[in-house]
Amino acid sequence: MAEDPGAPMRPNMPRLSLHVPEPRFRPGDTVDFAEVEIPAAGAARRPDTGAAPRDFAELAYTMVRVLDEQGQAVGPWNPRLAPDTLRRMLRDMVRLRAFDERMFRAQRQGKTSFYMKALGEEAVAIAAAHALDAEDMCFPSYRQQGLLIARGCPLVDMMNQIYSNTGDKLGGKQLPIMYSEKRFGFFSISGNLTTQYPQAVGWAMASAAKGDSRIAAVWCGEGSTAEGDFHSACTFAAVYRAPVVMNIVNNQWAISSFSGFAGAESTTFAARGIGYGIASLRVDGNDALAVYAATQWAAERARTNAGPTLIEHFTYRAEGHSTSDDPSQYRSAGEPTAWPLGDPIRRLKDHLIAISEWDEDRHAAQDRELAEEVKAAQKEAEKNGILGHGLHQPLDSLFDGVFEEMPWHLREQRAQMLAEEEASGRPWARK
């Protein structure tokens, strides 16, 4: 009689089983984040920036926190920022949220095809931008528009890119929200996940090889750490001690896949740096002061040739992955309000109020002021056109900006395209 192919090879051994990660909550479930360990604010020690990574490996498993439940800044990571700096950070975070809300509505109105909000993650980019030098080079993912806002990029320029209109300096060649701003040290966003990681490390290595003083900072989502580019970048950063700050934004979800599919059930994402010998920190990503302090610490480490730092920002994506996503299909509606680390804007506001440097009336007035500022910028940008109002970029510019000197085969293709368009009688074929 033939053997059962499904039978175990050894009768006395259990069958193997495959583990498939499953999120704690699904649509309709009651949310309880009690299993999420939140260390007390101020409990994590702050090592010297020149210390060897192995000497503070525990910081990859705990969480750097500064703001306590009473809104006070406590512990060794307290950056002791001046009230004016705190107010500027708060203002930038509120401006980012107002910008996101208006561009989200613009997409719903059909004025652009796509948008991604940073709701609940404003501290990750804004606080980091304030901690870095203006000359440092940033290699963002697609939810760090706060870097541009904090560095003073005109909102109209950002909106022109979103609308791909006549004012779009990228000529309509990038998906909305994939900015590129050399003026503000903001490397072109790529839709291919984590390509920015080896690019940032390579840039940092070049800066060190030239004896420059500028460092690089790079961001990706926790799901992107499963990409090979992430691990290649970590190898090069560790071997050559590249002056780079490597940020992982752990917002719990990669589109509809929860963080467990990238390894969150086994360990923290900060712990991935330990195997490479990279200094690793896990930070409360909704605590602007903790993000600032960790970024400042990592930047000083990079600038003093002590090597790279990997920072996991533990936060939560409060809305959908993008305007093309419906989170109600894969997670409980109660998750955003139940998230134990709260709202980053509210926490920074409460801190300023706690130290008598802010109040609710001033905050409400600032909300109104910045909402009007963003509204005015939108009106100005829309004078250059929106989606659905025709082709805003001349068709013969399609091949521009790919090569410094256009090769013969592209010149041939462009000539063929223009000849066909001219024969069709379309009026927008040429500049």
Q: In order along the chain (431 residues), what is the average pLDDT of each group of 10 residues?
A: 62 91 95 95 98 98 98 98 98 98 97 97 98 98 97 98 95 94 97 96 98 98 96 98 98 93 95 98 98 98 98 97 95 95 98 98 98 98 89 83 91 92 69 47
Is the distance from CB of 323 to CB of 114 less than 8 angstroms?
yes
**pLDDT at 396 (0 to 100):** 81
- CA 308 from chain centre, in angstroms, equals 18
Sign of CA dihedral 309, 315, 319, 324: positive
Q: Are 335 and 316 in contact (CB under 8 A)?
A: yes
Contacts of 28 (CB under 8 A, 6+ apart): 332
Q: Are strands 257-258 and 253-254 parallel, antiparallel or unpaired?
A: antiparallel
The number of residues making up the chain comes to 431
Nearest to 323 by CA among 38, 67, 117: 117
Which of 47, 32, 33, 41 has its CA nearest to residue 62? 41
Residue listed under structure tokens 């779009």 = 168
The predicted pLDDT at position 104 comes to 98
Q: Helix, strand or coil for residue 369?
A: helix
Identify whether the C-beta of residue 315 lies closer than 8 Å to the C-beta of residue 341.
yes
**Is 18 strand, coil or helix?**
coil
CA angle 338, 339, 342 (to 5 degrees): 110
Q: Which ranges constitute the DSSP H helices of 21-131?
A: 83-108, 122-131
State residue 429's pLDDT score: 47
Which of 70, 71, 79, 75 has the alpha carbon at shortest distance from 41? Answer: 75
User: 351 with 93: CB under 8 angstroms?
Assistant: no
Q: Are 90 and 351 in contact (CB under 8 A)?
A: no
Task: Find, among 340, 310, 307, the residue nearest to 65 by Cα.
Answer: 340
- Residue 67 is given by DSSP the state B
The pTM is what? 0.94
CA angle 57, 269, 259 (to 5 degrees): 155
* Closest alpha carbon to 124 in 270, 244, 319, 288: 288
Q: Judge whether 294 and 316 are in contact, CB under 8 Å.
A: no
Task: Return d(Cα 176, Cα 189) in angstroms, integer.
Answer: 10
Smallest CA-to-CA distance from 190 within 155, 144, 259 is with 144
Cα atoms found within 13 Å of the Cα of residue 146, Cβ hemisphere only:
29
